[in-house]
Amino acid sequence: MNAQPRRLENIQTDRGSVPVYTTGIVEQPWNDYSDVDHDVWRRLYERQRNVLPGRACDAFLHAQDTMRMTPDRIPKFSELNKVLGDATGWQIVGVEGLLPELDFFTHLANRRFPVTWWIRRPDQIDYIAEPDLFHDLFGHVPPLMDPTFADYLVAYGEGGVKAHGFGPDALMQLARLYWYTVEFGLMRENGQMRIYGAGIASSAGESVHSVESAAPNRIAFDLERIMRTRYRIDSYQKTYFVIDSYEQLIEATRPDFAPIYARLAMQPTVPAGGVLETDAVLQHGSGEGWSAEGDV
């Protein structure tokens, strides 16, 4: 690959210092991808396509087939946009990387999903701290082929734009909602735990851990509980929240969030691995296998 991503600055967030890139939309420089880039895509694609059957929800796997992504080349955004646009009116737009919240929410509210145009290096195959093309294209785009999930993400984006008026606490609470659904959500399908979250679907280790390990808690979806629950970005999740269907997500975003923010302001946050009396615990995690890095 010739061009390197252009970082704008690093901003301090509750997840530490994250690079925030120039916020403009960039054309996918498809002709600039090197053979190394395409090979990284192939290796990641084949690894995930081997690990997800029987672990990802039906809609996720079906969408990937419909979009006709293949291992041999990095897909072209323009080609995927035809299929995606016909299915739910969403479009992929190329970006440099992480965007400031308001830019990100505004894209979602307008049915645009920002996809990072560059793909990780071979030495980052197993982990990269920020969203690259593989995470976004392989993990985030297929769920957008489902009309209900697609409408949920529009409602989420609209809520995010509104939340700007409510200040940093509301933004953090919304970021948790995104984290525990869009990134790390599980679904109960035919009585089985199945993956729909992009952060899981694009990670080989967590695709297995999230649905098979006894260590994490698995708790039935509860909007306000999720919005109170803290998370770490650099380890497997200690708790997964489980929906029964995408409809549950869109129902949760129907009410006005102002009273929810007001209620949450009066309640303490919950550590990532915590379990409350009021939780509908589906599987109580054993918690083993984590460093005791405190109650994050």
Residues that bind Fe ion (CB under 5 A): 131, 198
CA distance linking residue 273 with residue 275, whole number of Å: 7
Q: Give me the least distance between CB of 140 and Fe ion, in Å please.
A: 6
Q: Give me the least distance between CB of 106 and Fe ion, in Å please.
A: 17
- Residue closer to ligand HBI (CB basis): 193 or 195: 195
- Residue closer to Fe ion (CB basis): 75 or 285: 75
Q: 123 is written with which tokens?
A: 């030495």
Q: Is 99 in the site for ligand HBI (CB under 6 A)?
A: yes
- Residue closer to Fe ion (CB basis): 48 or 285: 48
Q: Is 195 in the site for ligand HBI (CB under 6 A)?
A: no
Q: Is 114 in the site for ligand HBI (CB under 6 A)?
A: yes
C-beta neighbour count of 21 within 10 angstroms? 20
Q: Is 178 in the site for ligand HBI (CB under 6 A)?
A: yes
Q: Is 153 in the site for ligand HBI (CB under 6 A)?
A: no
Q: Are the C-beta atoms of 91 and 62 separated by less than 8 Å?
A: no
- Phi-psi region for residue 167, left (φ > 0), alpha (ψ -120 to 50) or beta? left
C-beta neighbour count of 16 within 10 angstroms? 11
- Residue closer to ligand HBI (CB basis): 173 or 217: 173
Q: Give me the least distance between CB of 214 and ligand HBI, in Å please.
A: 28
Q: Give me the least distance between CB of 188 and ligand HBI, in Å please.
A: 24
CA distance linking residue 153 with residue 96, whole number of Å: 21
- Residue closer to ligand HBI (CB basis): 102 or 208: 102
Minimal CA–CA distance to 152: which of 243, 259, 247, 59?
Answer: 247
Return residues touching ligand HBI (CB under 6 A). Answer: 95, 98-99, 101, 104, 114, 131, 175, 178
